[in-house]
Structure 1
């Protein structure tokens, strides 16, 4: 019977619509939490949860199409003060489509920790890693800009006495060089004011200074016949100082000590001795730097 079949079809459709339109369901959603209007003089210093659990119930057809991102809770922090503050979330704060109901599940509050926002000028120091070749070292470091202003939570800014660059590798460096490095703040709630977080670093590399001692070096007399001279002491030590490579290469054959006796001098004199070094760029010092010289008259030596 065609009429009966048509009637049965419409009855089934009506029943399906009635069941689905009237059927209710519920589900737990993680509703996003956002905040706004943080006072300019405050900084949030704790890890704040970015969602809360909410039990949502209502018609299944509406609930199944619900996008949690469109139900986000927005907190107004314009009344915030220094210290801990709890902001309670209630059902009225959750924007849901008509027909849906929300129940905020425990704990139902968002905790914020606020600190004063302060500024401070800090000196930047270069941080090094690795070692230059043997005999070389860092002589001077120039940083531009030498000081940087930071802004952030008072508790963290006050704890800073200075700033460091990211590590600068010295491995294999035996000459001057320049690099650009980021400033390593290492503080979660401190930032550089103005956003310029890089500095230019000039590093001057110099060969290290080394000392080497040649002991008991004989004193040579010049300016008078050696047969007429008595010395005390007869030997002195020579201390060489200069670039490590040059000093290491010097040998006893490269050094000599002389004392110059003025022409016509006789009697006892305390004269300065001088060192001769056959290596350029090396300084020499005699210890002691004076010797007693007795010059005998010409007839006394015959």
Structure 2
């Protein structure tokens, strides 16, 4: 017994035997806390039958403290700890619903934190939302997906009113690497998206998938032509129209090959009296679309104030030019009204004598002719309107 090494070994053996006895025979009671245990909402069908639904994120979790013999508690898994909240009997508004917990018979529940969860119940609604396609997988700007057709083009969203109202559209993401030039049809997942471009949870869709038909197109830059229609309000004229000189379009290579320019529909300036911006529609051949960078074409129209002056000219004040030798002519249409339009600062000095009116009869070979009025001047004006634009003239041989 005086051997210290022997005493140390004996102490260790005794301690080990005591530990084995306590664990194996005594098996003391212990507690364990399971964190973030999911809570299942039950009796949801009772809400649906009353046109109600749970709003917000319906995924709830709680912490659960259990107690039992160490051997039993150590073997317990989270899958064996079941937490539920019964929605039966609850109506519209926010309610705090008690969490019920089931555990195996050899352990017992000690505490649930929190004991109740807040559930917001709203009116159940169903609204159709448009489907929008998002294209992924294109690495260069010389190709784009086009001729896109959707089935369905709208999907009904069902759920709590606040959740459904937050849905802006249904997103369908198309992988462009799977689209061929002669066309492909793909099925993609439908995702409800809100105004912040974030997926909306806890709503149901009438269709979980969208069927997309599309073709892989080439992209080309072409010249953009435009013209106007209509008349501005009295006292105004167009100063300038700001519009892109070129735009990018997409289509099959065979169609784009011989296409170098496109035109807009006429820009309507009827009765415009202030600077304005108009969305412009582009006339495109069949099978051609605007490229993604030019989905919207806008024309900025700038106008300015103008004033006008009118001068009257008799037939004697209109020069006749180009008349063949041996002939004489007389103007039958009279008088001619010359309306001159320009900025006020310039128009103050404009006089009738600044303008010379004439007609050219070099092409006239009959006794009666019609000739366009030609206006010559050196003044800076915006626009000249001649009424009438053509004059009736009688041509006779000199007597």
Does the Cα contact within 8 Å between 2:56 and 2:163 map onto a contact in 1? no
Asked if residue 36 in structure 1 is aligned to residue 42 in structure 2, the reply is yes
Instruction: Please list, as runs of the form range in 1=range in 2, the aligned pairs for 1:1-302 lying within 5 A after superposition.
Output: 16=21, 20-30=25-35, 31-39=37-45, 40=48, 41-48=51-58, 50-89=60-99, 93-98=101-106, 100-124=107-131, 145-158=152-165, 163=169, 166=172, 185-186=192-193, 187-198=200-211, 209-211=224-226, 226-228=322-324, 264-266=366-368, 291-293=389-391, 295=393, 297-300=395-398
Deviation at 1:127, TM superposition (A): 7.4
Uncovered stretches (5+) of structure 1, i.e. residues with no partner: 1-8, 170-174, 214-224, 234-258, 272-286
Deviation at 1:89, TM superposition (A): 2.9
Distance in 1, Cα, partners of 2:125 & 2:58 = 21
Uncovered stretches (5+) of structure 2, i.e. residues with no partner: 1-13, 176-180, 194-199, 229-320, 337-360, 374-384
Deviation at 1:226, TM superposition (A): 5.0
Under a length normalisation based on structure 2, what TM-score does the superposition of the two structures give? Answer: 0.41
Give the superposed CA RMSD: 5.4
Deviation at 1:115, TM superposition (A): 2.2
Does the Cα contact within 8 Å between 1:142 and 1:203 map onto a contact in 2? no
- After superposition, give the CA deviation of every residue in 1:9-35 in whole Å (9 maximum; x if it has no partner): 9xx69x816864342222222344223
Deviation at 1:163, TM superposition (A): 3.3
Under a length normalisation based on structure 1, what TM-score does the superposition of the two structures give? Answer: 0.52
Assess, with a 3 A threshold, how the Cα gap between structure 1 residues 26 and 199 changes in structure 2: closer, same or farther. same
Aligned length: 225
Does the Cα contact within 8 Å between 2:85 and 2:98 map onto a contact in 1? no
What secondary structure is seen at the aligned counterpart in 2 of 1:64?
A: helix
What secondary structure is seen at the aligned counterpart in 2 of 1:96?
A: coil
Counterpart in 2 of 1:241?
Answer: none
Assess, with a 3 A threshold, how the Cα gap between structure 1 residues 16 and 141 changes in structure 2: closer, same or farther. closer
Distance in 1, Cα, partners of 2:71 & 2:23 = 12
Distance in 2, Cα, partners of 1:68 & 1:165 = 36
Distance in 2, Cα, partners of 1:289 & 1:25 = 108
Distance in 1, Cα, partners of 2:29 & 2:170 = 61
Deviation at 1:210, TM superposition (A): 0.6
